Amino acid sequence: MEKTQDNLVALVGSRICHDLISPIGAISNGVELMSMAGSSGEQELALITESVENANARIRFFRVAFGVAHADQMLGGREIAGILSDLSKGSRFSINWQVGTDLPRAEARVAFLLLLCFETAMPFGGECTVTRDGESWKLEGTAPKMRQEDGHWVLITDPDGGHEISASIVHFALAPDVASRIDRQIRVERDPTWICLTF
């Protein structure tokens, strides 16, 4: 699918729905199991609680990554830390967020979109460290094994190239677009087990 505004909106909707189907489906399964006769309900309740927390964390994360960010809007450092902490629970992908201050929401949005890029590149788990020096951001990730699809990263380095975009990688196309709105350009360096993104 080509990169047009309408297409990107549709792809974002597909991406959000895809990521929320799993935890919401688990909630449904837990409720169904609890309704079965002879069940104590403890394991089912634990499944439901974990799934609700996962869905809630995803929604809060997506609200920052895909939501509107006005130029003068700020996002609290404690709120960001809480979102990322909840998102990392039970995940093989860990985020070492070293930016403790309140931030312009537009900058946080770019960082969150790039975290989704790292998550996509590290399906078997990995770690990403996020730092900010003045107004310069650096996201550095390592993993024993990474997806090496060059086409994903081309969407960031050549955003106007007319490349094919799907819902599963829409964040790769959105990140440079959102960055350009705050006069930033994303730079990509990578090797088979390491990725560094700066903006």
Domain encompassing residue 20: 5-198
pLDDT over 50 (residue 2): no
159 phi and psi angles, rounded to 5 deg: -65, -20
More confident residue, 70 or 186: 186
Give start and end residues of each alpha helix (H) in 35-142. Answer: 42-66, 77-88, 105-121
Domain count, the chain: 1
Q: Which of 190, 95, 96, 194 is nearest to 144 (CA)?
A: 194
**Residue 104 phi, psi (nearest 5):** -60, 130
Is residue 198's pLDDT more than 70?
yes
Tokens 């104590």 map to which residue?
40
pLDDT at 71: 77
Least confident segment among 46-55, 114-123, 182-191: 46-55
Highest mean pLDDT among 7-16, 54-63, 147-156: 147-156
Is the model's pLDDT at 59 over the cut of 90?
no
Give the mean pLDDT of 63-77. 89
Determine the pLDDT at residue 106: 94
At 76-111, the pLDDT tens digits run: 999 999 999 988 888 899 999 999 999 999 999 999
Q: Does the structure show a pLDDT above 70 at 174?
A: yes
Residues near 99 by beta carbon (within 8 Å), at least 6 away in sequence: 77, 80, 130, 131, 132
**Range 151-161 average pLDDT:** 91
Top pLDDT among 41 and 118 is at 118
Matching residue, tokens 């996020």: 130
Distances (CA, A) of 48 to 1, 25, 77, 115: 36, 10, 29, 26
How many C-beta atoms lie closer than 10 Å to residue 6's C-beta? 7
Using alpha carbons, select from 122, 109, 110, 80 the residue that is nearest to residue 97: 80
Kindly report the CATH number assigned to the domain that includes residue 171. 3.30.565.10
% residues pLDDT > 90 (the chain): 55
pLDDT in tens, 129-145: 999 999 999 999 999 99
Pairing verdict, β 126-133 and 93-97: parallel
Q: How many CA atoms lie within 13 A of 41 on its CB side?
A: 4
pLDDT at res. 138: 98
